[in-house]
Structure 1
Amino acid sequence: MTTSVVSIVYVNDAPAAARFYGDLLGMSPSFETPGYITFDLGPGADLGLWSGQFDGLSPDVPRTSEVCLAIGGGRPDELNAIFEQWKSKGVTILREPYDAGFGLTFLAADPDGNRIRVAPKD
């Protein structure tokens, strides 16, 4: 059996969210409908952006999950470069780079308040 894991992020506007994530990831969507857009992140992994499920999402609503973008090698200079790039693009930074025990990491938010962590790949 072939399996794939799709991490779904609920957003207010799927095309707008796709532009945001496409810019951050440096890639184009692999599947698009007006309310559901996915990015192929590699074998067996996709990121799905789904609108219409939670109209009027508010950044004040606590989020209990996050998308983690794991970078290979775990080099602090690479993570810091991504942090500076995102900051220069105006991405909301929730926590600047810090050592979390598993390596250097930082936490950002998309325009809907969903959390995005950048961390070293295990």
Structure 2
Amino acid sequence: MATPNPFTFIVYVRDAQQSATFYGDLLDLSPVFESPRYIAFELPGGTQLAVWSGNDVFGDRLPEDGSPTRTSELCISRGTASEIDATFTDWKARGIHIIAEPYDDVFGRTFLAADPDGNLIRVAPVD
């Protein structure tokens, strides 16, 4: 019998395939499950990250203007400030939309980026 995933984090997007390509390239991952509107990636520890563009039963999960309220961030941990700065330099060179350049916060060095739908991606030190 298959063991269920302990957690799946779902990011709501307008175009699941476009977002899956973005996250696959960003995280160097291939999907473990693909459907027309829902695509999932396996993360370390058995957790999954999925992109979902809504469903046919209840309609699109996004408001009519296509801009959902942002209430969370995806956080990617890096070990040191220099690794965080190097990730920032790499992402900026790749054209990733940067919201906030690297700065020091109460938990250490961090910066903030966004995916094509404006979902926030924070890079920060390992807790």
TM-score with structure 2 setting the length:
0.85
Q: 1:62 to 1:94 in 2, by over 3 A?
A: farther
> Which residue does the alignment assign to 2:108?
103
Structure 1 gap segments, 5+ residues each: none
Larger relative contact order (Cα-Cα within 8 Å, sequence gap ≥ 6)? 1
Q: CA deviation at 1:77?
A: 1.2
1:49-68 equivalent positions in 2, closer than 5 A: 49-52=51-54, 53-54=61-62, 56-58=65-67, 62-68=69-75
Q: Report the structure number with the largest CA radius of gyration.
A: 2
Q: CA deviation at 1:44?
A: 3.1
Cα pair 2:5 2:47 within 8 Å, conserved: no
* Rounded Cα–Cα distance in structure 2 between residues aligned with 1:27 and 1:107: 21
Q: Matched residue pairs, number?
A: 118
> Which residue does the alignment assign to 2:58?
none
SS in 1 for 2:43: strand
Answer yes or no: is 1:88 the counterpart of 2:89: no
TM-score with structure 1 setting the length:
0.88
Instruction: Kindly provide the amino acid, as one letter, of the partner of residue 99 in structure 2.
Output: L
SS in 2 for 1:15: helix
Structure 2 gap segments, 5+ residues each: 55-60
SS in 2 for 1:30: strand
Return structure 1 stretches of 4+ with deviation > 4 angstroms.
Answer: none
When the two chains are superposed, the root-mean-square deviation of aligned CA atoms in Å is 1.7
SS in 2 for 1:119: strand
Identity of aligned residues (%): 53
